[in-house]
């Protein structure tokens, strides 16, 4: 009998999952097309090439691009909506850390209809792999330190990180709290390096 096959997975003629570079590239192209379609549904004024740009899909990238454009137009003026490269890079680093931590604790993430990747949660890695325990312990320690820094940055820091960075929601009134939390993370990671 055997295990049931995963649906919508490209296969070789022998029936195994295909792991060729072309298939991996196809998966990435399908994800980009699904994201492009979704962005154009939310904002029909976007052209296809504009919808493929990262700043139209990510709040932190859009805020960074808006800030750069404002700095070009008015280089001598102080800007209230600062979202620098440091903020963007720190937000991306925290997002990657949070995903590693979720994989460490084997948390299953909800999937959307436009997600063509494999099922979330268990990564299929060997639990007895050499070095896995140290890597998992390091991920957990790093995540706890980052979470503590965010919580100490202010009362709404974690809410801002969760809403804007993790859930990708443009919550304008939490922008200042997000900057405070990202500044605390940047200081933490600078001292650890």
The ranges assigned to domains in the chain are: 15-57, 59-192
By CB neighbour count within 10 A (0-12 exposed, 13-18 middle, 19+ buried), where does 146 fall?
A: buried
Which pLDDT value is given to residue 147? 95
* Higher pLDDT, residue 125 or 29: 29
Average pLDDT, the chain: 80
- What is the rounded distance in angstroms from the CA atom of residue 16 to the CA atom of residue 182? 44
Q: What is the mean pLDDT of residues 101-113?
A: 70
Question: For residue range 145-167, what is the model confidence (pLDDT) as tens digits?
Answer: 999 999 999 899 999 999 999 88
Would you say residue 168 has pLDDT above 90? no
For residue 152, CA distances in Å to 15, 54, 173 come to 52, 31, 19
Q: Are 80 and 192 in contact (CB under 8 A)?
A: no
Is residue 183's pLDDT more than 80? yes
- Using CA atoms, how far apart are residues 15 and 39, in angstroms rounded to an integer? 35
In whole angstroms, give the CA distance from residue 109 to residue 26: 23
Q: Are 161 and 178 in contact (CB under 8 A)?
A: yes
* C-alpha neighbours within 13 Å on the C-beta side of residue 78: 1
Label residue 157 exposed, middle or buried (CB < 10 Å: 0-12, 13-18, 19+). Answer: buried
The 3-state DSSP class for residue 93 equals helix
Secondary structure tally for the chain: helices H, strands E = 7, 0
Max mean pLDDT among 24-33, 40-49, 99-108 falls in 99-108
β-sheet bridge partners, residue 17: 11
How much is the pLDDT for 121? 46
* Residue 171 clears pLDDT 80, i.e. is over it: yes
Q: pLDDT class for 45, splitting at 50, 70, 90?
A: confident
84 has a pLDDT exceeding 80 = yes
CB atoms within 10 A of CB 130: 7
Q: 127 vs 160, which has greater pLDDT?
A: 160
Do 168 and 58 form a contact (C-beta atoms < 8 A)? Answer: yes
CA 153/CA 182 separation, integer angstroms? 9
Tokens of 46: 């976007």
């Amino acid at each position: 009998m055997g295990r049931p096959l995963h649906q919508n997975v490209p296969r070789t003629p022998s029936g195994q999952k295909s792991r060729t570079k072309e298939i991996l590239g196809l998966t990435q192209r399908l994800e980009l097309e699904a994201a492009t379609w979704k962005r154009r549904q939310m904002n029909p004024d976007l052209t296809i090439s504009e919808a493929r740009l990262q700043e139209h899909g990510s709040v932190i990238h859009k805020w960074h691009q808006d800030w750069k454009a404002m700095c070009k137009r008015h280089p001598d003026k102080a800007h209230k909506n600062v979202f620098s490269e440091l903020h963007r890079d720190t937000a991306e680093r925290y997002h990657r850390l949070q995903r590693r931590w979720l994989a460490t604790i084997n948390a299953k993430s909800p999937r959307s209809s436009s997600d063509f990747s494999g099922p979330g949660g268990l990564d299929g890695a060997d639990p007895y792999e050499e070095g896995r325990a140290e890597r998992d312990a390091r991920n957990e320690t790093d995540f706890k330190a980052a979470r503590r820094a965010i919580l100490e940055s202010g009362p709404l820091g974690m809410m801002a990180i969760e809403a804007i960075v993790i859930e990708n929601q443009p919550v304008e009134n939490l922008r200042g709290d997000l900057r405070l939390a990202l500044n605390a993370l940047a200081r933490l990671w600078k001292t650890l390096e």
